[in-house]
A and B are shown apart, each in its own frame.
Chain A
Amino acid sequence: MTDTSHDMEPFNLQFPFTRTLGSTLSTFFSALAKGQLIGVRVGDRVIAPPLEYDPETAADAGSDWVKVGPKGTVSTWTWVPQPTHLHTLQEPFAFAFITLDGADTPMIHVVQASEDQLKAGLRVEAQFKPEGEANGRIDDIVAFVPASDPSPSVGAGEPFEAPAENEIENMDSYCDLVYIDNASPSTRLWMDSLLNGKLIGQVCPVCNRTYVGPRGLCCVDAVELDDTTLVEVFGKGVVANFTVITPTPYPGQLETEPFVRVSILLDGTDAVMGQQTIIGIPASEVRVGMHVEIEWAPEGERDVEDIGNRGYGATGGAVHGWRPTGEPDEPAENYIERMM
């Protein structure tokens, strides 16, 4: 069974971050930016590109730097016929294990060649970005290409003298992930009811608690709640908790003045509706125990774009907010410390 009919809007998770490289990777990438590949000698072998530790023994790999490459030998390969946004080349290319001259361990990198040239044993050489375009990243090597002269690299295996200070100490990264979730059956029931200007819940047949909105399960008894447990609930309740948020500017924040978000326990129900808006009074006057009633957005102006599978009872763009009724407050101690 495939269900793609209830997909929600794509959610783009993006965050930039800067990684510190530490002394070993900093030495490697600073040398790479100048077109020099290096490894580190650990025991009787040279690991290239270098690591801070010997993966076999966990010993500190030290700083016995060794020049490696720029030529090397392919030991295994694969062909990428249709590159994606992830890849550095946008034409068909190969990934390969390449053991650089002077190194004892391979590295993974890109090979630009024709598919029929590829085989274990192929001699390749690194093509570097032009000086000035290199910025100390592994893709400063644009690609390896078949070596015009298969003879050993000049200088490979010789010691490398690291500068007193490395120029490259950080690496910028960017995480960019796209998710497409789908609205679960109980979420769809809630969306439909909001668009119709109604509130609904589900009653657990075991504990008799009424959950607003429907969530398809009772989290206390661990039983599934199906459509037979649906009930209509009504837009009057009591503030069970609140917080006043002083907005700080960040992308997407539209609020400029302190605003309040409240949890509301509807009369006759057992689970609060979180993250609700209070209208008609200043944030500073909101109290636990205050009676409120719902103010719907007019029919035709309601939207449920912000409704997801979590945040049970979220009302999104279907409701303007909750207006105090003026009735005397309920005792706060009857409402505080609710977990749900």
Chain B
Amino acid sequence: MPRTENDIAIVGYAQSPMLRRSEHTETEMMLPTVQGALKMAGLTKDDIGFTVSGSCDYLSGQAFSFVSNVDAYGAWPPINESHVEMDGAWAMYEAFVRLLQGDIDTAVAAGVGKNSNSDAATLYTIEVDPYYLTPLGADPQSLAALQYRALLDSGKATERDVAELVARNRASAKGNVHAQVSGDFDVDELLAADYVRNPLRRHDLPPTTDGCAAVVLARGKKAYELCERPVWITGIDHRIEPHLPTLRQDLTSSISTKLAADGAGAGNGPIEVAEVYAPFSFQELIVTEALGLGADTAVNPSGGALAANPVMVTGLIRVIEAAKQIMENGKSRTLAHATSGPCLQQNLVTILEGDA
């Protein structure tokens, strides 16, 4: 399909090293990543029409860290800047919408998270319902385990299916230079491990990761000027379910993912590769079912969130990995999924396409 000035493409991207504990601040992780993405697109900081970051002060424990992080863009003279308290995938969504206004033709979106400073169990327990859940210590592992048990009881999957999925992701991650966790694992050995929260085992949990990622977007003709093979965002949609997991219609399916996929036009053609953000292993099964993916779609060739999970970045990494498949691996249509909140509360689906 011929592209118009209302079509928006990814023309550059970069990821920082993904580390259990970076010695750098968020700003220091961001600067080379943002500037690296710009360099890939052949741009400098002064060429950018709009910048937007996704991060959360509560992760690093630094009030107004998102303000310090603006240093990574070289914000003098003053720039057009925005911030979301969400994964960088949502920052990209805002940049996409901003570009649709038509008055600028480039934007940068980044996500950054220094997760190693804080204790995830305590932190995310104050993010759930403060009246009904926080006082009980309803930590993220427990909430995920409740969802996993429901999935097993539904008969849609077995613990062996999930262990096989973990082994597959970790093996795929061997080819990902950014992976923190990768290698060949025996499914029976995985199944022999103790439960952290029955039925969740340690290998079902994502690693703790410090990291950053950034993408450069361009509109219309500008995308062709900057990139030999622009990765067009042909659909993007975000849906949310009630914050109390007890009020979802069905914990073992993801209606918000399905609606977002429909809204983004996932079913309008075959999907060669899907990069799915499943923070807990078994959630990949729920998401891929909701996306309607079949056996002909390769899921998470990067290893997904089990390989590296810098919260506030992992969703944007999925977009980058799905874009890479088009720009570097000759694929023509891929999907990126991002999630946020307990038990897959919020879901964002992006459809990416290369020119034929």
Chain A residues with a Cβ under 8 A of chain B? 1-4, 6, 11, 13, 19, 21, 25, 29, 47, 49, 51, 55, 75-81, 83-84, 86-88, 95-97, 105-110, 115, 120, 137-139, 171, 173, 175-182, 184-186, 216-224, 309-310, 339
Q: Please, could you name 25 A-B residue pairs with CB atoms under 8 Å apart, sorted by A?
A: A1-B19, A4-B21, A6-B23, A76-B146, A77-B149, A80-B197, A86-B125, A88-B137, A95-B146, A96-B146, A105-B247, A107-B132, A108-B132, A108-B143, A108-B146, A137-B135, A138-B132, A139-B135, A173-B134, A176-B122, A177-B58, A179-B61, A181-B61, A184-B23, A222-B34
Interface flag for B101 (CB, 8 Å): no
List B residues 97-114 near A (Cβ within 8 Å): none
Task: Please tell me the size bucket of the interface on B.
Answer: 35 or more
Once bound together, how far apart are the Cα atoms of A143 and B136, in whole Å?
10
Contact B247 A47 (CB under 8 A): yes
**Could you tell me the distance in whole angstroms from the C-beta of A21 to the nearest C-beta in chain B?**
7
**Could you tell me the distance in whole angstroms from the C-beta of B63 to the nearest C-beta in chain A?**
9
Contact A138 B71 (CB under 8 A): no
**Could you tell me the distance in whole angstroms from the C-beta of B144 to the nearest C-beta in chain A?**
8
CB neighbours (8 Å) of B148 from chain A are 78
**Could you tell me the distance in whole angstroms from the C-beta of A214 to the nearest C-beta in chain B?**
11
Contact B132 A182 (CB under 8 A): no
Chain B residues with a Cβ under 8 A of chain A? 17, 19-25, 27-28, 31-32, 34-35, 45, 58, 60-62, 68, 71-76, 117-119, 121-123, 125-126, 130-139, 142-143, 145-150, 153, 194-200, 242, 244-247, 251
Once bound together, how far apart are the Cα atoms of A49 and B194, in whole Å?
34
Contact B68 A108 (CB under 8 A): no
**Taking CB as reference atom, which chain B residue is nearest A109?**
B136
Contact A217 B27 (CB under 8 A): yes
Counting residue pairs across A and B whose Cβ atoms lie within 8 Å, the total is 172
Q: Is the interface of A mostly helix, strand, loop or mixed?
A: mixed
Q: Given that A139-B135, A216-B28, A219-B74 are contacting pairs, would A115 and B198 also be in contact in the complex, using a CB cutoff of 8 Å?
A: yes
**Taking CB as reference atom, which chain A residue is nearest B68?**
A310
Option from A51, A79, A110 in Cβ contact (under 8 Å) with B195 = A79
Q: Given that A84-B137, A96-B146, A222-B72 are contacting pairs, would A2 and B21 also be in contact in the complex, using a CB cutoff of 8 Å?
A: yes
Contact A76 B23 (CB under 8 A): no
Q: Given that A1-B17, A86-B121, A310-B62 are contacting pairs, would A184 and B25 also be in contact in the complex, using a CB cutoff of 8 Å?
A: yes
CB neighbours (8 Å) of B35 from chain A are 222-223
